[in-house]
Chain A
Amino acid sequence: MRADRILGFGALLLALPVGLTSWGYGVGSPKSPGAGFWPFLIAASMAGLGAALALRPDRALHPRADGGSRWRSLGIALATLGIYVLVLEPLGYLLATFLLLVVQLKWVEARSWRTTVLTAGIAAAVSFAIFRVFLKVSLPVGILPLPRSW
């Protein structure tokens, strides 16, 4: 019920800037709709649905969010993904993916070092071989001294 209220107010809050921005694009008239006509309709529908949810939340739904407690693992997983985006091109696919898998397997999933290094090494190398060498997807090579013709 509370989640419905938050969602309803969230939708109302989002509908306002969307509606104003759409108005700025030019709503036009029903005879000749402008570029803002469609997004304005969406904003109006969102506002209506948001108001309905905020005022009449569904009592049958679970009142609390359904979540777990492994916050540390989730934080590490998200931070590693963010860093992966930054280092993918400079380091290259092979190295960046190997490091991503090492962090995920060792610190998010708590596997042994042996399993971590073996799985990360094989997975990064095999996926690189399939996509770069066979499917010719130009995955970044980065700092590793690999033949560019691969």
Chain B
Amino acid sequence: MDTLGSLLHGFAVALTPGNLLYVLLGSLIGTVIGVLPGLGPTASIALLLPATIGMDMVSALIFLAGIYYGAMYGGSTTSILVNIPGEAASVVTCLDGYQMARQGRAGPALGMSAFGSFIGGTIGVLAVMLISPFLAEAALKFGPPEMFALLFFAFTCIGGLTGKSRARGLLMACVGLLLGSVGTDDIHGVDRFVFGTLYLRDGIALVPLAMGLFGMGEILYNVERRESTGAVVGTPKDLLPTRKDWRDSRWPILRGSLVGFGIGILPGGMPAVASLLSYAVEKRVAKEPDRLGRGAIEGVAGPETANNAATAGGFVPLLTLGIPTNSVLALMLAALMLHGVTPGPLLLFKWPDVFWGVIASMYIGNVMLLVLNLPMIGLFVQLLKVPYSILSPLIIMFVLLGAYALNNSVTDVLATILFGLVGYLMKRYGLEPAPLVLAFVLGPMLENNLSKALIMARGAGLSFFFGRPISGTLLTMALVVLAFPLVKRCLAWRGKAAATA
């Protein structure tokens, strides 16, 4: 079937009344989650994962994807109106968005952010649709050495893209790998790090880990350190950007789409990184860079477009290679496996309904969000007025409820609380949970492929990996990523030495 035919089939799947309802529900819940500070998309998807068990797999994925891109839309509202980002990808939107709101231009800021998100999301989905079939076809030729090399490359990118310190990021990733190795080993059947408990023999479950680190950890951190929230800058009336706003934003939107999609398909490519990079690009190309940070619409249009394009881009490696590039997509992977779908290059051919249904639902979701969000901004502003002191116990309740509902087990609740404590400590000491969760998911795949590749190599060692063109290229790329900071340090040191001479 050609791409257009497949897409039409996808629309036929996504436009059934049931799936339309899930697109609507997912995008609405996602927007609310994005608007409310303290509950990011990762924790929310972890929370709602058990609720998707009863759904069929296409609906489940459509629903979860809706939450993800809905959260990206909603996150900007709080950034602009209250100067508090609803989720990490909207941090940079605070810089110019809030300044615009203070200058009485909250409406155009919110409007442009919604339009930018829509355009970025749509261009992203279009690119996903065009690239994925080729990538899946190529990935069919991957054996264990190639998969190992690809996963290893993904792993080396995690540390560099997710935090301020590369060593800290990689160390957190190692902790994630270690947690991922707990339980009965698949190949040898040996129990590892189970300490005689039955619960750990199946391995640590992803949902309590993600909900604890992201949801509970965030709440506990806020309990200890309550900051007064900014004042809501009224309910904006006129949301449509002016002709000049459009003129100023058209190139930032286009650049944001490209930057966002490019970052999104990279391992470790969080939407937050995409929006940050897009802001940096805008600052660099601006004729008057000083305007950015003082209420320039380019500072809202670029990053908001980029984070939605990155959200869409992340679906390329997930759906074609079975590799999640960030913690939200790691949970999507868990959702796929929960429904018996093996993510990887075969997904496109064995479960075309899942692939094309999700892609089509993303088009529909983007339109729905644009149509829904603009008239509903007043309602979201009201939502922001609910005090955090009431919201936070309610979020705790939902996190505990989600943990219990997974297996009807109190042990999962306990595990969520313990990981919550770990998440709180990590946040307090400036450690990123995202590399840990991502490595936790990638770890077992990495081990499995490494073991198979080593057995295939029959003692040939590194020459076996480097002798194969794809694995050799990927491993070389991984080594370049690893060596890059050292080279940068050497160059800086030489530069300094030359300056003092």
Contacts and interface: CB of A to CB of B under 8 A. Distances in A.
Interface stretch (B169-177, B258-266, B269-277): B169-177
A88 B178 contact: no
B170 A49 contact: yes
A88 B459 CA distance: 54
A136 to B, nearest CB: 8
A117 to B, nearest CB: 13
B223 A37 contact: no
Contacts, number: 179
Contacts of B174: 11, 42, 45-46, 49
Contact of A25 (B50, B192, B420): B192
Interface string A94-123: 000100110011001111000100011001
Contacts of B420: 81
Secondary structure of the A contact surface, majority rule: helix
A108 B167 contact: no
Contacts of B185: 25, 35
B6 interface: no
A147 interface: no
A30 interface: yes
Interface residues of B, number: 57
Listed residue (B54, B174, B181, B430) with the most chain A CB atoms within 10 angstroms of its CB:
B174
Interface string A126-146: 010001000111110000000
Given A46-B178, A50-B171, A53-B168, A123 B394 contact: yes
Interface of A: 3-4, 7, 11, 18, 21-22, 25-26, 29-39, 42-43, 45-46, 49-50, 52-53, 58, 60-62, 65-71, 73-74, 77-78, 81-82, 84-85, 88-89, 93, 97, 100-101, 104-105, 108-111, 115, 119-120, 123-124, 127, 131, 135-139
29 contacts: A7-B171, A11-B171, A30-B454, A30-B457, A33-B455, A35-B187, A36-B192, A45-B170, A45-B174, A46-B171, A53-B171, A60-B164, A67-B428, A68-B225, A70-B225, A81-B417, A82-B417, A88-B404, A88-B410, A93-B401, A100-B400, A109-B390, A111-B389, A119-B393, A120-B393, A123-B393, A124-B397, A131-B401, A137-B408
